[in-house]
Amino acid sequence: STQSEKTDPGRPASESPALPLPQPVQVLDIQIHQVLQIFIDNKWVPSSRRKTFPTFNPATGCKICDVEEADQEDVDQAVMAAKAAGQRGSPWRRMDACSRGKLLHQLADLVERDRLLLATLETLDTGKPFLQSFFIDLEGSIKTLRYYAGWTDKIHGKSLRVDESFMCITKHEPVGVCGAIIPWNFPLLMFMWKIAPALSCGNTVVIKPAEQTPLTALHIGSLIKEAGFPAGVVNIVPGFGPTAGAAIASHMDVDKVAFTGSTEIGQLIQTAAAKSNLKRVTLELGGKNPCIVFADCDLQLAVEETQKGAFYNQGQCCTAASRVFVEESIHEEFVHLSIEKAKKIVIGDPLDPLTSHGRTVIDQQQFDKIMDLIENGKKEGAIFGPVQCIIQALGARKRPSGRANSSQYGLVSAIFTSSMDRALSVSAALETGTVWINCYNSLHAQTPFGGYKMSGIGRELGEYALAEYTEVKAVTVKLNERL
């Protein structure tokens, strides 16, 4: 999940200062007649077995369209195209770094041009409110592309003085073919989180969008071709995890795989990567994310931010504020304010710009899972869905980080207090990859994102992500001592 600096996704759209509001694009004619194909080697192709699957609007239950289903054979074709595009001497490998950056900027320009259409498609496919798609997901996607466009000509090694007889230089080279498997909760944004750093470093990509939400990924395929990327640099293979996803994770010619999703599937991907060719793995997995609310905080701010964390995107975020620990002296008032705030959430048609909270989760399976977790919530202590769990904590002197860390996960956490000394002390004790102080869901392209413990391996975004997509080569030269 991500958040624009200018837009508060927890606030009803009717309070937005930006008027007139953007209106969704009418795309009903596109929905009915077209079967969307696989994007391989800059071409639209049918699946090898001519199989298709439907994608649905979760807000209405209506089918949007059919999509060609990729499986092992299609992944093989996509990997072959990506490998050829990344060969030494290919147009992509011969391209200078500035030109790679120009292509990423061009793609960002095209995404900006099609922003209304992409936001509409994202809302149709996910059920999230249109204004969140437009202001949050599209804004974050464009910024991610532009950020990594700026990095392309700044990825370089070092010159190391070993001793008088030798000199060593290091080079940062592309890993090769990078596989990416992305989730259904932020389809477009996760697409950009994966391809932008990979392309910035000179890699090629085979990416599988979630079967529930393939539409924006496929439209980006047309923009990648329009932007002028060489054939085979980006390949998009919509399909299912046990077939297309497993094929990417176990493929002998995929050099690295990046995955965002559940811890259980992340473990399967890491196993497949190890059993195949020991490919690199970046995993951004689940979270049971704690918020610690101290009595000296700005109470209204804490209520708004923790509720945003719990309910944003219908609660379908790996960063969801799953456990809110509130200091005993303010617990009753915090609960009261949270209830009143929740009553003001505008629930309705996701395509209505006045809607701030979609009236649906992604599909029936996820709904049933949430309802089951609610029944077991007292044991679990957290839920991946639109539920806020508020827990009364003891006084501020009782080391609240202990309860916050009592989880196998460590993705994000938040602290609400007016004491910066306390905030920094507690943040040092929290075992999470991100700590937010007096805010929530504040993600930026410049800031690394990833988790401790079973919340993942490696980092996405920021300069830190570049290390996940490059190999470091040391070149040692024996110096001539007779000059």
Contact 135, 4 (CB under 8 A): yes
Token readout for 384 is 């991946």
| Burial of 187 from C-beta contacts in 10 A (0-12 / 13-18 / 19+) | buried
**C-beta atoms surrounding 37 within 10 Å:** 19
Residue-wise DSSP of 393-453: E--TTS-THHHHT-SSEESEEEEE-S-HHHHHHHHHH--SSEEEES-SS---TTS-B--EE
The letter for the amino acid at 15 is: E
Residue-wise DSSP of 139-163: HHHHHHHHHHHTTGGG----EEEEE
Q: What is the CA radius of gyration of the chain?
A: 23
Token readout for 153 is 């000509």
The residues assigned a catalytic role are 284
Residue-wise DSSP of 447-461: S-B--EETTEES-BS
Going from the C-alpha of 166 to that of each of 141, 473, 477, 479, 483, the distances in angstroms are: 45, 16, 6, 5, 15
Nearest to 46 by CA among 83, 27, 71, 79: 71
Sequence-ordered strand ranges (E) for 154-288: 159-163, 166-174, 177-181, 204-208, 234-236, 256-260, 280-284
Alpha-carbon gap, residue 51 to 74, rounded angstroms: 11
Sequence-ordered strand ranges (E) for 60-115: 63-68
Which residues does 175 contact at the CB level (< 8 Å), separation at least 6? 201, 203, 255, 256, 280, 469, 470, 471
Helix (H, G, I), strand (E, B) or coil at 477: strand
Alpha-carbon gap, residue 471 to 155, rounded angstroms: 11
Helix (H) or strand (E) holding 118: helix 115-126
For residue 437, which phi and psi values (nearest 5 degrees)?
-115, 115
Alpha-carbon gap, residue 261 to 151, rounded angstroms: 27
| Burial of 28 from C-beta contacts in 10 A (0-12 / 13-18 / 19+) | exposed
